[in-house]
C-alpha cells in the first residue's frame, strides 16, 4: 500500500489546490508532543467546554428565557398549579417531558463543574512546574482571563432556571453589586431593568450565557491553543531532553489518538456523573420568590470561596456624609478574588523581577526544585481552600454537629494562619524531597536484595538509579539570583542601592539560593562549589542584561 486510497488522495489534492494546506500539514503532521499525564489536565477543561457547547445548544431548543408568569401544568405532580416563571417551567419541561432532557441537563451541569475544576488543576500544574515562564507569559494571562470568564459564565448559567436556589445566588449577586460605591445602585438597576428582581434579568443573563461569554471563551481558547501549538509544549526533564528540543510522540497518529481517547474519557466520566449522580434537582427547590429561601443555600463549588469570604467577615460598615460603604460586603467580594486573580496574573512577572531571569524556559520545573514557588502555590491553595470550606460551614455544622459560630470563628483565624503554616510545611517538604533526590543520585536506590555481611550484619544492596530516573532528577535547574554583592571595591551594583533594590536583592537570594545542590555524582556538597554554579548561570544567556 504505497499510495493512499483514491478518495483521500483526490480530496487532498482538491483542498491543497485551493488552500495550500499541504505546507501547513508538512510542518505540523509530525509535530512532537511530550508525554506526561499532567499535560492532559487542561484538556479536561477543553473537552468539557466542547461538551458544554453541544449540550447547551440542545437545551436552548426548549428553554424559554422569560420571567413571564405561568401556571405549571407539566408532569411533575407536586408543582402542578403553582405559579412560576416560564424559564423555570421550561426547565422542568426539559427535565420531565423531553426524552434525554434530564440527562443532557445534568451532563451540562456536570460539564460546567468539570470545566472549572479542569481549568483549576491545569492552572496549578502550570504554576507548580513554572510552565508560565518566558515565552509563555501571554498564554498564562489568557488562562487567567479564561478562568475569570468561566466563573462569570457559571454564575449566569446557574441563575437561568430561575429556581429558588439559583434565585438566592442572584439575590446575593444583587446585594454585592449594590454595595459598590458610587455606581452600585445604577449598575444594579441597569442589569435588572429596574428594581430587583424585575422582568429582564433572565433573558439578559441568557444572552450573556449563551452568546457573549461563550464567544469570548471560544476566541480565547483558540488563541490559547494556537500559542501552545506555536510555542510547543513544555516537557519534563529527562533523558535526551533539553531546552532546545522537545521529545515525545508525533501529533499524527499517536498524539491525535491519545487526545481523542481522552476526549471520550472526559465525555464518558461526565456522562457517568450525569447518569448516576443527580445534580441541581430544580424540581425540589421550587420556583423563585424573593420571600423564601432554603437552609443550606449554596453556590456551585467555584463560587464557594466567595461565599466563604462573605460568611467570615465581621459586620463592618462605614457611613459618612450620607453615604454608605458596606465593607462587610465589599471586602469579601473583592479582596480574595483580587488577591487570587491579580496574584496569578502578576506572578510570572514578579518572579522574573526577583530572579532577573529573562531566558526562555521549555523544561518544566519539578515542584520540589523551586521550593519557594511551590510553597507560595500551596499557601494560595490553603487560602482558597479555607474560604471554600467556610462557604459550606452550614452543611459542615449540620452534618458533623459542630457549632455554626465555631466554624466561622475558626475560619477568621485560619484564613491568616492556615496559608502561613501551609507555606512552611510545603517548603520543608520540597527541601526534603530534594535531599532524597540527592541521596538517590549519590547512593542509588534500594534494590530489594538483602545481603548478609561476613560479620553477620544484614544490609540492603543499593543500586544506581535507572538512567531515566537519574536524568529526570538531574534535570533540576538552578534558579538565578540577581547580583547584589559588593564588587572588588566594596561598591554594590547600581540596582541594589535603593531600598527597593536591596529588597529585591534579598528576595532574589532567598528565592533562588539552592539549599540542596547536587554535584556531578549527585553528592551534596559545600557552598564554595555552589557559588561557582551561580557564576556559571549568571554569565550565560541574557542574564547580564540586568545590570
Partner 1 sequence: MTDNHIDQPESRVPARVIGTPSSNGPILSGDNRREAGAAFLADEDVHEVKGVPGVVYQDPASARRAERLVALLFTITFLAGAAFIAAYVAFQVGTIDKTAVSNYALGGTLSVALLSLASGITLWVRRIMPKYYLVQERHPMASDSATREYVKETFLEGANESGFVKHKLLRRTLLLAAAPLGLAPLVLLKDLGPLPGTSLRHTVWGAPTKDGKPRRLVVEGTGQPIRAADFNSPGGILSVVPEGYEEDLNALAKATLILLKFRPEEIKSGTNLNWTHDGIVAYSKICTHVGCPAALYEQTTHHILCPCHQSTFDAADGAKVIFGPAARPLPQLPIGIDGEGYLVAKSDFNVPVGPSFWERGDAEAEAREKKA
Partner 2 sequence: MIGTGISVNSITARRRHPLARFAVVALALGLLGGGYAVAAPNGSSADAAIASGKADDVAQGKSLFVAHCASCHGLNAEGSGKAPTLVGVGAAAVDFQVSSGRMPAADAGPQAPRKPLADWVTPQAIKDLAAYVQSLGGGPTVPSAEQVDPAKGDPAKGGELFRANCIQCHNFVGAGGALTYGKYAPPLNPATPTQIYEAMITGPQAMPVFNDSTITPEQKRDMIAYITHVRSQVDPGGSGLGRIGPVTEGLVAWIAGISLLILAAIWITAKKRRAKA
**Short-list 109, 102, 95, CA closest to 153:** 109
User: Quick one: which of 180, 202, 210, 273 contacts partner 2 (CB under 8 A)?
Assistant: 273
Binding positions for partner 1, 260-279, rule CB under 8 A:
260-262, 264-265, 267-268, 271-272, 274-276
Binding positions for partner 1, 68-127, rule CB under 8 A:
69, 75-77, 83, 95-103, 106
CA distances from 333 to 148, 149, 182, 204, 405 (A): 14, 16, 16, 22, 21
**Short-list 157, 114, 121, 108, CA closest to 42:** 121
Stretch that binds partner 1, among 125-133, 258-266, 437-445, 479-487 (CB under 8 A): 258-266
**Cell reading at 190:** 441597569
The CB-side HSE value for 535 (13 A sphere, CA atoms) comes to 7
Stretch that binds partner 2, among 170-178, 298-306, 482-490, 535-543 (CB under 8 A): 298-306
8 binds partner 1 (CB under 8 A): no
403 binds, among partner 2, partner 1, none (CB under 5 to 8 A by kind): partner 2
38 binds partner 1 (CB under 8 A): no
Stretch that binds partner 1, among 117-125, 143-151, 313-321, 478-486 (CB under 8 A): 313-321
Long-range pairs, 398-404, Cβ under 8 A, ≥24: 398/295, 398/296
217 binds, among partner 2, partner 1, none (CB under 5 to 8 A by kind): none
80 binds partner 2 (CB under 8 A): yes
d(CA 440, CA 523): 9
Query: What DSSP assignment string belongs to 517-541?
Result: -B-TTS-B--HHHHHHHHHHHHHSG
d(CA 193, CA 187): 10
Report whether 365 contacts 473 (CB < 8 A).
Answer: no
349 binds partner 1 (CB under 8 A): no
221 binds, among partner 1, partner 2, none (CB under 5 to 8 A by kind): none
98 binds, among partner 1, partner 2, none (CB under 5 to 8 A by kind): partner 1
User: Quick one: which of 32, 82, 327, 546 contacts partner 2 (CB under 8 A)?
Assistant: 82
Please state the closest distance from residue 512 (CB atom) to partner 2, in A. Answer: 31
69 binds partner 2 (CB under 8 A): no
Question: 3-state DSSP call for residue 363?
Answer: strand
User: Quick one: which of 397, 442, 484, 495 contacts partner 2 (CB under 8 A)?
Assistant: 397
Binding positions for partner 1, 419-478, rule CB under 8 A:
467, 471
Cβ proximity to partner 2, 140 vs 285, nearer residue: 285
User: Quick one: which of 145, 193, 493, 501 contacts partner 1 (CB under 8 A)?
Assistant: 193
250 binds partner 1 (CB under 8 A): yes
Cβ proximity to partner 1, 394 vs 509, nearer residue: 394
Helix (H) or strand (E) holding 263: helix 256-276
Query: What DSSP assignment string belongs to 95-131?
Result: HHHSTTHHHHHHHHHHHHHHHHHHHHHHHHHHHHTTT
93 binds, among partner 2, partner 1, none (CB under 5 to 8 A by kind): none
Q: CB-based contacts of 264: which residues, under 8 Å, 6+ apart?
A: none
274 binds partner 2 (CB under 8 A): yes
323 binds partner 2 (CB under 8 A): no
User: Quick one: which of 8, 11, 181, 424 contacts partner 1 (CB under 8 A)?
Assistant: 181
CA 127 to chain centre: 9
Stretch that binds partner 2, among 6-14, 272-280, 315-323, 502-510 (CB under 8 A): 272-280
38 binds partner 2 (CB under 8 A): yes
Cβ proximity to partner 2, 41 vs 52, nearer residue: 41
Cβ proximity to partner 1, 312 vs 376, nearer residue: 312
User: Quick one: which of 16, 43, 360, 509 contacts partner 1 (CB under 8 A)?
Assistant: 360
Binding positions for partner 1, 277-306, rule CB under 8 A:
288-297
321 binds partner 2 (CB under 8 A): no
**Cell reading at 54:** 453541544
Report whether 414 contacts 470 (CB < 8 A).
Answer: no
Long-range pairs, 257-264, Cβ under 8 A, ≥24: 259/43, 262/40, 262/43, 262/47, 263/43, 263/47, 263/50
What are φ and ψ of residue 324, in 5° steps? -125, 130
451 binds, among partner 2, partner 1, none (CB under 5 to 8 A by kind): partner 2
CA distances from 160 to 209, 337, 516 (A): 9, 23, 54
Please state the closest distance from residue 169 (CB atom) to partner 2, in A. Answer: 10
Q: Quick one: DSSP state of residue 244?
A: T
Amino acid at each position: 500500500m504505497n499510495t493512499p486510497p483514491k478518495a483521500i488522495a483526490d480530496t487532498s489534492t482538491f483542498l491543497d489546490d485551493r488552500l495550500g494546506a499541504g505546507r501547513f500539514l508538512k510542518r505540523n503532521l509530525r509535530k512532537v508532543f511530550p508525554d506526561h499525564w499532567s499535560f492532559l489536565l487542561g484538556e479536561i477543561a477543553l473537552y468539557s467546554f466542547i461538551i458544554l457547547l453541544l449540550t447547551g445548544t440542545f437545551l436552548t431548543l426548549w428553554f424559554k428565557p422569560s420571567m413571564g408568569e405561568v401556571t405549571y401544568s407539566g408532569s411533575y405532580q407536586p408543582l402542578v398549579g403553582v405559579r412560576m416563571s416560564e424559564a423555570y417551567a421550561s426547565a422542568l419541561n426539559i427535565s420531565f417531558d423531553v426524552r434525554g432532557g434530564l440527562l443532557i441537563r445534568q451532563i451540562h451541569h456536570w460539564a460546567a463543574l468539570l470545566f472549572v475544576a479542569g481549568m483549576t488543576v491545569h492552572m496549578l500544574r502550570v504554576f507548580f512546574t513554572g510552565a508560565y515562564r518566558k515565552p509563555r507569559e501571554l498564554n498564562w494571562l489568557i488562562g487567567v482571563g479564561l478562568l475569570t470568564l468561566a466563573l462569570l459564565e457559571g454564575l449566569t448559567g446557574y441563575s437561568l432556571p430561575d429556581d429558588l436556589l439559583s434565585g438566592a445566588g442572584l439575590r446575593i449577586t444583587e446585594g454585592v453589586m449594590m454595595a459598590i460605591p458610587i455606581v452600585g445602585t445604577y449598575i444594579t438597576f441597569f442589569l435588572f431593568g429596574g428594581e430587583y428582581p424585575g422582568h429582564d434579568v433572565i433573558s439578559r443573563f441568557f444572552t450573556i450565557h449563551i452568546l457573549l461569554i461563550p464567544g469570548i471563551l471560544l476566541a480565547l481558547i483558540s488563541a490559547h491553543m494556537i500559542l501552545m501549538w506555536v510555542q510547543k509544549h513544555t516537557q519534563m526533564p529527562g533523558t535526551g531532553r533539553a531546552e532546545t528540543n522537545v521529545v515525545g510522540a508525533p501529533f499524527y497518529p499517536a498524539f491525535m489518538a491519545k487526545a481523542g481517547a481522552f476526549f471520550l474519557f472526559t465525555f464518558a466520566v461526565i456522562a457517568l456523573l450525569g447518569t448516576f449522580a443527580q445534580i441541581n434537582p430544580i424540581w425540589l427547590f421550587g420556583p423563585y420568590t424573593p420571600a423564601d429561601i432554603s437552609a443550606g443555600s449554596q453556590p456551585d463549588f467555584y463560587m464557594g470561596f466567595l461565599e466563604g469570604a462573605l460568611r467570615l467577615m465581621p459586620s463592618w460598615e462605614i457611613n459618612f456624609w450620607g453615604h454608605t460603604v458596606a465593607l462587610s460586603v465589599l471586602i469579601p467580594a473583592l479582596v480574595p478574588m483580587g488577591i487570587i486573580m491579580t496574584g496569578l496574573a502578576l506572578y510570572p512577572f514578579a518572579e522574573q523581577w526577583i530572579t532577573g531571569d529573562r531566558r526562555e524556559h521549555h523544561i518544566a520545573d519539578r515542584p520540589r526544585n523551586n521550593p519557594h514557588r511551590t510553597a507560595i502555590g500551596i499557601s494560595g491553595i490553603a487560602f482558597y481552600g479555607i474560604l471554600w470550606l467556610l462557604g459550606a460551614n452550614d452543611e459542615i455544622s449540620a452534618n458533623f454537629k459542630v457549632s455554626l459560630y465555631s466554624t466561622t470563628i475558626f475560619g477568621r483565624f485560619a484564613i491568616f494562619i492556615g496559608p502561613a503554616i501551609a507555606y512552611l510545611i510545603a517548603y520543608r517538604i520540597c527541601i526534603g524531597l530534594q535531599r532524597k533526590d540527592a541521596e538517590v543520585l549519590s547512593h542509588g536506590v534500594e534494590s530489594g536484595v538483602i545481603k548478609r555481611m561476613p560479620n553477620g550484619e544484614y544490609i540492603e544492596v543499593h543500586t544506581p538509579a535507572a538512567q531515566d530516573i537519574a536524568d529526570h532528577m538531574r534535570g533540576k535547574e538552578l534558579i538565578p539570583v540577581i547580583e547584589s554583592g559588593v564588587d572588588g571595591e566594596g561598591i554594590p551594583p547600581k540596582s541594589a542601592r535603593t531600598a527597593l533594590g536591596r529588597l529585591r536583592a534579598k528576595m532574589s537570594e532567598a528565592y533562588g539560593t539552592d539549599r540542596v545542590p547536587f554535584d556531578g555524582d549527585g553528592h551534596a556538597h559545600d557552598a564554595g562549589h555552589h557559588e561557582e554554579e551561580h557564576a556559571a548561570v549568571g554569565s550565560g544567556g541574557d542574564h547580564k542584561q540586568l545590570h
